[in-house]
Amino acid sequence: MGIPTLDPPQRQLYLDDVDADAVSMHTTRSDYDYDDVPELPSYSDSEAIAAAEIATPTREEQDAYRSIRQPRSSNGWRIYNKDKEVNCNETSIRMDERLINPTALYNYVSDYLRMIPPRPSVRIHGYHYQTVYQNNKKETKTVNDFDIMLGLQRYLPCAVATPAGMGAWSATTVENSESVHRGSWRKTRAKGFTQDIEVGTDGPPDLEYWCKEFCNSGSALKIFRVTRDVPGLDHEYLKIHITHLIRSTNYRGHIDISFPIEEKYVDIYSPHVVNKWRISWVRFLFYVSFLWILTWPILFFMTKRWDIYRVEWRFSWQERTPRGMVKKYATINEEQWFKKHAKLIKSLVLDGHSGDATDLPLDMEPRERGRQNRSLPQTGNRNVDAAVSFIQSGVNAWNTLQVRGSRYDEGWGADSR
């Protein structure tokens, strides 16, 4: 018997094999015209599209419930710019029929207020007292030299919990031993708890429990507060360095540096007619008529409050490592922030800026920016327009040097007697 001959194995065919005899899905006529295939963009078009995508900022998630601002800022100050008012309320109010539902309230607090950070900022206020004579009377008025606000929200961490609960972000309900508002007009501890002595064995209730208790409460006047804080920022370090920077311009006035947090407290009011009155213009009628002397105690004792939920976005925190406790930062530290904004702060102080400067370029003079927004008259002659622009730039530069030079030499912003 001879050795049988085996047929050679057939080569496996692939869809993209140009030598295959079988007709594949990619086999088409060579002269076929594709009418429905879009042409690829040119190099210049693709570059423009990519630049547009980079320049387009990500849209921030919107609040599903309208914020009701109090008639007066809780921390007593507001900054006004030419085009818009810079709001610095530390307390904002929500009032909506839907938030009386436990599920809706829980979802709103958990999905929005817990995830979207507040807006902390650095406020740099310079002022001096000026004595004036009016109607043969001596009066002293306050003159604002500059009032600058720089936001810090972009330097906060993301809302990501850590196993230990002491990382950059945390969201917790109050402990049973804490004395807070728990559905009453006064602060109390949980039943069975006295200061740090634990009598009960149950842990603190969760957010869902408190939402159900708030919504199921029979009280007509009630407030559910969510506290959102930004700890870990070294205020003293920034105060010292910013004050020294401003004094280097020979400024002799008063300097006040504060760190407000917009929407630090979010109060959810029950939609009762009395609650609507207490946050509207009706309240001023009670002030003028002095009826508030009678109504304020009644409202104080009738309003039930819940202040049991805390969310923290930490600028810095202490973390335990094998080498001991180490201070960590969410993004940048105070020294890096100050060096990054020092030139802008000094320029805004010298220009007497008043308003929100968070989005201003860090390396651009504010007066320069303002001049760019004002167009010079055009004559139609290219040479004449260029000459006018050159002369105008020289005049502006000379005026700036004159003003700033006199301030450096003689001092400015001192109190006048």
* pLDDT score recorded for residue 290: 87
State the chain's mean pLDDT as an integer.
77
The mean-pLDDT minimum among 179-183, 225-229, 320-324 falls in 320-324
Residue 53 has pLDDT above 70, yes or no: no
The mean-pLDDT minimum among 68-77, 90-99, 140-149, 262-271 falls in 68-77
Phi and psi at 277, nearest 5°, equal -70, -40
pLDDT (tens digit, 9 = 90+) per residue, 208-258? 999 999 999 999 999 999 999 999 999 999 999 999 999 999 999 999 999
pLDDT (tens digit, 9 = 90+) per residue, 106-137? 999 999 999 999 999 999 999 999 988 888 88
SS3 136: coil
Phi and psi at 265, nearest 5°, equal -115, 125
Question: Residue range 273-292: average pLDDT?
Answer: 88
Q: Which residues contact 96 (CB under 8 A, 6 or more apart)?
A: 65, 66, 271
Residue 392 to residue 227: CA distance in whole angstroms: 52
Facing residues of 128 across strands? Answer: 143
Residue 70 has pLDDT above 60, yes or no: no
* pLDDT score recorded for residue 135: 80
- Report yes or no: 316 and 330 within 8 Å, Cβ to Cβ: yes
Query: How much of the chain exceeds pLDDT 90, in percent?
Result: 48
Residue 291 to residue 173: CA distance in whole angstroms: 37
pLDDT (tens digit, 9 = 90+) per residue, 387-408? 666 666 565 555 555 555 555 5
Question: Residue range 249-274: average pLDDT?
Answer: 94
Question: Residue range 95-101: average pLDDT?
Answer: 93
Facing residues of 153 across strands? Answer: none
pLDDT band at 160 (very low <50, low <70, confident <90, very high): confident
Angle between helices 334-350 and 382-410 (to 10 degrees): 110
* pLDDT score recorded for residue 386: 66
**Buried-exposed string 200-210: b where 16+ CB fall within 10 A, e elsewhere:** eeeebbebeeb
Residue 7 has pLDDT above 60, yes or no: no
Alpha carbon distances (Å) from 385 to 15, 285, 370, 371: 66, 59, 19, 16
- Cα–Cα nearest to 341, from 146, 128, 126, 124: 124
Residue 275 has pLDDT above 60, yes or no: yes
